[in-house]
């Protein structure tokens, strides 16, 4: 049975807070290895992420990984955030360069900040306080020239002290398997976990895919267009995500990271289809 983890984003209002807690409550009985909480572009949710991470850590009994970027912050500010997580008992970090604020163009380092994810990882690893995860791209990142460039950059991040990687989402098992082979050929021997995105909103996923370089196969695009007309989008999305995971399990993959978008039911249903049964609830949230 594969190991699982889930990604959430921090709430921006009271309604979002209730949605996040419902998401945690729905998925906690599956006993994930950990859950993670994202950062907004340009560090726009820095405080919200910190509050969500510490609250989930205190109330759920789940290991929580905090996303941390080096956008729009000095080295001292970034490390202060990391130390505050350690002080709160949060010792898992997803270390990322981060995206610049929308409309500002390409990434520009803060004058006193880390210039890359590799520098951030080196600093975090030097503390000896954290388990570090990093991002990986099974298809070329928009800023990369090729998949090999992404593999080489991933190796630099892992060599800098990261413990494992989580990939961007993809739609075909072969996409991940080719990337896994390329990583092995480059001498990467740390875990690379595939990121799975059950499609809750087809229009939104098309935008995400265009932004991150994920290829949408023509047959999947046609299937979702037809399913939307028939009111069967959720059934199709669950079936496709389950089929993708099963194909990867058949190739020896033993862990998945689900991008929930704070809508937990589809990720839960895919896990159930993989034979991952709920266990007694872990939450103590009132």
The Cα 10–Cα 33 span in angstroms is 19
Percent of the chain whose pLDDT exceeds 70 = 91
Choice between 49 and 120, residue whose per-residue pLDDT is larger: 120
Average pLDDT (47-56) is 88
pLDDT at 62: 92
User: Is the CB of residue 60 less than 8 Å from the CB of residue 52?
Assistant: no
If you average pLDDT over every residue of the chain, what do you get? 90
Note the pLDDT of residue 286.
43
Residue 122 among the catalytic residues? no
**Is the pLDDT assigned to residue 49 strictly greater than 90?**
no
Q: Which residues pair with 258 in a beta bridge?
A: 6, 196
pLDDT at residue 248 is higher than 60 = yes
> What torsion do the CA atoms of 69, 71, 74, 77 make, to the nearest 10 degrees?
-40
- pLDDT for 99 equals 67
Q: Which residue has the higher pLDDT, 284 or 120?
A: 120
Vertex 167: Cα angle to 165 and 170 (nearest 5):
165
Q: At 138, is the pLDDT very low, low, confident or very high (cuts 50, 70, 90)? A: very high
pLDDT grade, residue 126 (50/70/90)?
A: very high
Has residue 213 got a pLDDT over 80? yes
* pLDDT at residue number 42: 47
Mean pLDDT of the 262-269 span: 96
Mean pLDDT, rounded, for 145-162:
94
pLDDT per residue as tens digits for the range 67-98: 998 877 889 999 999 999 999 999 999 999 87
Name the most confidently modeled range: 12-16, 41-45, 153-157.
153-157
- pLDDT for 143 beyond 70: yes
Residue 73, pLDDT score: 83
**Tens-digit pLDDT profile for residues 161-202:** 999 999 999 999 999 999 999 999 999 999 999 999 999 999
């Amino acid at each position: 049975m594969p190991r699982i983890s889930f990604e959430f984003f921090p709430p921006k209002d009271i309604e979002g807070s209730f949605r996040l807690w419902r998401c945690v409550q729905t998925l906690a009985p599956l006993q994930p290895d950990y859950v993670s909480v994202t950062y907004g572009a340009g560090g726009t949710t820095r405080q919200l992420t910190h509050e969500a991470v510490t609250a989930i850590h205190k109330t759920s009994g789940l290991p929580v990984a905090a996303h941390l970027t080096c956008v729009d912050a000095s080295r001292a500010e970034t490390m202060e955030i990391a130390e505050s997580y350690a002080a709160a008992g949060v010792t898992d970090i997803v270390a990322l360069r981060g995206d610049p604020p929308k409309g500002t163009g390409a990434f520009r380092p803060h004058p006193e900040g880390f210039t890359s994810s590799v520098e951030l990882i080196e600093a975090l690893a030097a503390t000896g306080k954290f388990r570090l995860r990093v991002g990986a791209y099974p298809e070329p990142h928009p800023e990369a020239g090729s998949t090999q460039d992404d593999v080489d950059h991933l190796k630099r991040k892992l060599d800098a002290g990261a413990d494992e990687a989580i990939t961007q989402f993809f739609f075909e098992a072969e996409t991940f398997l080719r990337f896994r082979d390329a990583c092995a050929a480059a001498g990467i021997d740390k875990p690379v976990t595939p990121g799975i995105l059950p499609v809750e909103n087809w229009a939104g996923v098309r935008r995400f895919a265009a932004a991150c370089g994920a290829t949408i196969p023509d047959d999947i695009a046609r299937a979702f267009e037809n399913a939307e007309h028939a009111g069967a989008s959720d059934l199709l999305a669950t079936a496709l995500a389950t089929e993708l995971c099963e194909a990867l399990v058949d190739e020896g993959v033993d862990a998945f990271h689900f991008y929930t978008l704070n809508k937990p039911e589809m990720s839960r249903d895919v896990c159930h289809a993989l034979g991952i049964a709920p266990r007694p609830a872990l939450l103590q949230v009132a």
